[in-house]
A and B are shown apart, each in its own frame.
Chain A
Amino acid sequence: KNQVEQSPQSLIILEGKNCTLQCNYTVSPFSNLRWYKQDTGRGPVSLTIMTFSENTKSNGRYTATLDADTKQSSLHITASQLSDSASYICVVSAQAAGNKLTFGGGTRVLVKP
């Protein structure tokens, strides 16, 4: 069964610090991997999208990495800000799946001043 596992489930960091979120997946055949940010009470918003040929993708202070061989991805947040407090969701799309996405359970990040 295609699955996406994320760790940690939650973390607390101080404003200005960096953090890294992990994502492991078993979705196959793999098409692309996305990281979404979901603020409380809002729908998810896309941060990055990577295909199997891409190893890293940045969006401002967010940098995603992908190792398609080990089926692992990470999302690194640099110089965290209070507005980074949200859930970060790793999402994987399988080939020929009609763009149907498999979602991880998310990592809830809380940035404290």
Chain B
Amino acid sequence: GAGVSQSPSNKVTEKGKDVELRCDPISGHTALYWYRQSLGQGLEFLIYFQGNSAPDKSGLPSDRFSAERTGGSVSTLTIQRTQQEDSAVYLCASSSLAGGGRHEQFFGPGTRLTVL
């Protein structure tokens, strides 16, 4: 079946603009994650959704970042008033179960965001 998909694949925006990044998880996966990968850096956890539970937002770097997941499926990561330091690849992953253990996370191809 289809894997995790993300759109757009590339986004160039001007400083101060808002952007929306979309993630379509694997059908039936209850857990969805957003990560950020800056140039030359490791992946940084941003936010985690599991079913109908309140999301874990502990990784969001500022209140300019927000995410929602509608109907337990598609998720949108919104960055308001973008700054140049927001430039990175934003990766989405989904898994069938959460709560530790071996539940493998399947990653999408990422959205490369460039803030000019």
Contacts and interface: CB of A to CB of B under 8 A. Distances in A.
A43 B109 contact: yes
Contact of A101 (B45, B50, B97, B106): B45
B31 interface: yes
Interface residues of A, number: 27
Given A43-B110, A97-B100, A99-B99, A89 B105 contact: no
Contact of B42 (A41, A95, A97, A106): A106
Contacts of A42: 109-110
Contacts of B102: 32, 49, 51
Interface in B73-116: 91, 93, 95, 97-110
B26 to A, nearest CB: 12
**How many B residues touch the partner, as a band?**
20 to 34
A100 to B, nearest CB: 6
Contact of B4 (A41, A43, A46, A102): A43
A104 B42 CA distance: 6
A99 B43 contact: no
Given A44-B107, A98-B50, A103 B43 contact: yes
Contacts of B43: 44, 89, 101, 103
B41 interface: yes
A101 B97 CA distance: 14
